Amino acid sequence: MEQGVPHTSATSPDPPLTHADANRPANPPAATRTDAGQGARGREGEGEAPTTATADPRTRDPETPPQSPRQGRGTRSDEWGARAHPPRRRVDTRNAAILGSANVDPATPITRTGDARVAVLASGAGTNLQALLDDEFCGRRVAVVVSDRAGARALERARDRGIPAVFLDPARSAGRDAFGRALLAVLAEHAVDVVVLAGFMRILAPEVVRAYEGRMLNVHPALLPAFPGAHAVADALAWGARVTGVTIHLVDEEVDHGPIVFQEAVTIRDGDDVDSLAERIHEVEHRLLPGAVRALAEGRLRVDGRRVSVAEPAAVAEP
């Protein structure tokens, strides 16, 4: 299923290089548009992040305070972020400047709040992308689809609708920050106002998250803050939970952490396995996500601390 939440931590270092990274030439970042025949099809379910070593607590310096398991990690779908705290400031998406595109001075007002251009980032099958494409409001506002995998089904879905499909090759970027700059260039080229993370299994640079603060949504297959990470469905089953669900939230620089826009519970039935539970979770994701994107695009979200209120469409005055 479409699991995974790419964000970033402003304080976390880049992940350690692998042997493959060490031998990889440091080419400049480049975005490559794909055609129907480019690249091999990736396997479904790929994208799990490498595990990270944990220091033995018995060897910890006694002068160093113990670290919470939710601290000190990079912002990634399969890692836990820092301890929860309110956003630094209030965000009001009625302000047209919040919906300024990446290549516009954010202090410059814009007049197309309801016609915001949407980018969808996906690494796999793109079923949540399809739900957006099939939605009357969202479908005509998807301006570009970006993937870090040449064979992602999401790119095919975009091409089938005549939407620009961009394969952003991580191998052409010398690290996370370079990849982030390449991504920002693609978003600027397509004058993107709103970014939707739909199973994009890659750490985003802090620069990207900050550029779209208050304008980036993620869908997560659990009732956050329960079961964060890339294996939320399996984790809920392993824990013996009776209820899980779906969370649509704004993205900040921590993992599965931003203010919650929508949530809906899904009952875990006796005899459920990952596939059967994921199927019912998908149904809820596909129903909730278009409404969240529309509310954000129309400037109907009000964020105060961790609390998000969603105004009804009729309550928003015409510009």
Active site annotation includes 282: no
Give the E-state strand segments of 235-284 in sequence order.
243-250, 260-267
The Cα 205–Cα 107 span in angstroms is 23
**CA 204, 307, 188, 181: dihedral to nearest 10 degrees?**
-20
Question: By C-alpha distance, which of 145, 235, 207, 172 is closest to 26?
Answer: 172
Find the catalytic residue in 7, 19, 190, 220: 220
CA 241 – CA 269 distance, rounded (Å): 10
What DSSP string describes 186-211?
Answer: HHHHTT--EEEESS--SPPPHHHHHH
In degrees and rounded to multiples of 5, residue 85 shows phi and psi of -155, 160
Q: Contact, 95 vs 183, CB < 8 A?
A: no
C-alpha distances out from residue 198 to 19, 108, 149, 242, 271, Å: 29, 29, 14, 25, 28
Q: How far is 80 from 12, CA to CA, in rounded Å?
A: 12
Strands 194-197 and 216-220: parallel
> Which residues are catalytically annotated?
220
